[in-house]
């Protein structure tokens, strides 16, 4: 697992390789927790495009974040909002912005299921590795603040069988890391029965000023909490932003 715990660039390359696989989402679609869900939160990355399609095709509400939270927060999509034949387009980031309804922190929405991506996941514990930028954790924390999810909200990850590992050390997890309850691969469904506590919100003492400066919705949330409580929230240590984040930020300045 040393390679999977390497640089952000390597993490991204690893996930990009498996994004080329056409994941069979039939196993996910057969799960009671998916069939019973009225609202599913799915991350905006390419490997989960079929999950977004399955959600909208099943007449469920899709909640998907703006990529990297750089232009907003979440978009809500429902099949009746999308012209006939345009659901595949709506499953892309451009299509979600085109057909979706942007929401804010005051939106009253109940999320029944969360589907996230992983670079690697340990079926025995429910621990996962993401791309290393923490957006899944930030999105989760904000949904906890909104009251949209709770500890009982199931978290599913869709991966290839080759992304299953058995050596992600639980003791290395941070308080904001999100464990998974269910793993869906093209060949099997695994219930992890994880005992790892789920995050309770945003852990501001872990959030760097650079990351906070990137994400306007987080800045809004921080101001709101400080105004509500009359206290100043802590700030985490400084960090060097991943190259992709730095590159996008420079483009916006031009």
Q: Left if phi > 0, otherwise alpha if psi is -120 to 50, otherwise beta: which for 201?
A: left
| Residue listed under structure tokens 């892309």 | 92
Report how far residue 216's alpha carbon sits from residue 73's, in angstroms, rounded to the nearest whole number. 9
Q: What is the pLDDT of residues 106-145, one digit of tens each?
A: 999 999 999 999 999 999 999 999 888 888 999 999 999 9
Kindly report the CATH class assigned to 8-191: alpha beta
Task: Give the pair of three-digit tokens for residue 51.
Answer: 């999950």
Is-contact 113 37, C-beta < 8 A? yes
The two structure tokens encoding residue 152: 């009982």
The DSSP result for 38-102, as a single string, is SEEEE--SGGGHHHHHHHHHTT-EEEEEPGGGSS-SEEEE-GGGS-TT-HHHHTSHHHHHHH-EE
Q: Supply the pLDDT for residue 133.
A: 80
Q: How far is CA 137 from CA 129, 130, 186, 200, in A?
A: 11, 10, 25, 10
Helix 243-253 with 8-19: angle, nearest 10 deg: 90
Q: What pLDDT does 24 receive?
A: 56
Residue 54: the pLDDT is: 95
Domain spans, the chain: 8-191, 204-253
Q: Are 77 and 58 in contact (CB under 8 A)?
A: no
Q: What is residue 66's predicted lDDT score, i.e. its pLDDT?
A: 83
Local confidence pLDDT in tens for the 254 residues of the chain: 333 433 344 444 444 444 434 545 889 999 999 999 999 999 998 889 999 999 999 999 999 998 767 767 999 999 999 999 999 999 998 999 999 999 999 999 999 999 999 999 999 999 999 888 888 999 999 999 999 999 999 999 999 999 999 999 999 888 999 999 999 999 999 999 999 999 999 999 999 999 999 899 999 999 999 999 999 999 999 988 766 544 444 444 44
What pLDDT, on a 0 to 100 scale, did the predictor assign at position 67?
Answer: 73
Contacts with 133 (C-beta within 8 Å, 6 or more apart), sequence order: 8, 68, 242, 245
Look at residue 71 in the predicted model and tell me its pLDDT: 67
Burial of 80 (0-12, 13-18, 19+ CB in 10 A): exposed
Q: 179: how many CB neighbours lie within 10 A of its CB? A: 21
């Amino acid at each position: 697992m040393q390679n999977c715990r390497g640089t952000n660039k390597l993490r991204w390359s690893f996930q990009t390789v498996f994004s080329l696989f056409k994941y069979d989402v039939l196993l996910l679609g057969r799960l009671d927790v998916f069939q019973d869900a009225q609202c599913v939160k799915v991350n905006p990355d390419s490997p989960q495009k079929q999950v977004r399609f399955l959600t909208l095709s099943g007449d469920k509400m899709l909640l998907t974040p703006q990529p990297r939270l750089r232009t907003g927060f979440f978009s809500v999509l429902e099949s009746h909002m999308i012209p006939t034949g345009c659901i595949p387009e709506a499953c892309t980031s451009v299509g979600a912005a085109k057909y979706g309804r942007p929401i804010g922190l005051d939106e009253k929405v109940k999320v029944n299921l969360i589907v996230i991506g992983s670079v690697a996941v340990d079926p025995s514990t429910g621990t996962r590795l993401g791309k290393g930028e923490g957006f899944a954790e930030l999105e989760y924390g904000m949904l906890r603040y909104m009251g949209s999810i709770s500890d009982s909200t199931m978290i599913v990850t869709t991966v290839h069988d080759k992304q299953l590992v058995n050596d992600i050390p639980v003791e290395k997890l941070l308080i904001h890391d999100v464990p998974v309850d269910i793993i869906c691969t093209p060949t099997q469904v695994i219930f992890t029965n994880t005992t790892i506590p789920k995050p309770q919100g945003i852990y501001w003492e872990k959030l760097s000023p650079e990351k906070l400066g990137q994400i306007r919705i987080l800045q809004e949330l921080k101001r709101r909490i400080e105004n509500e409580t009359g206290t100043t929230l802590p700030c985490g240590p400084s960090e060097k932003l991943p190259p992709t984040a730095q590159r996008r930020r420079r483009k916006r300045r031009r």
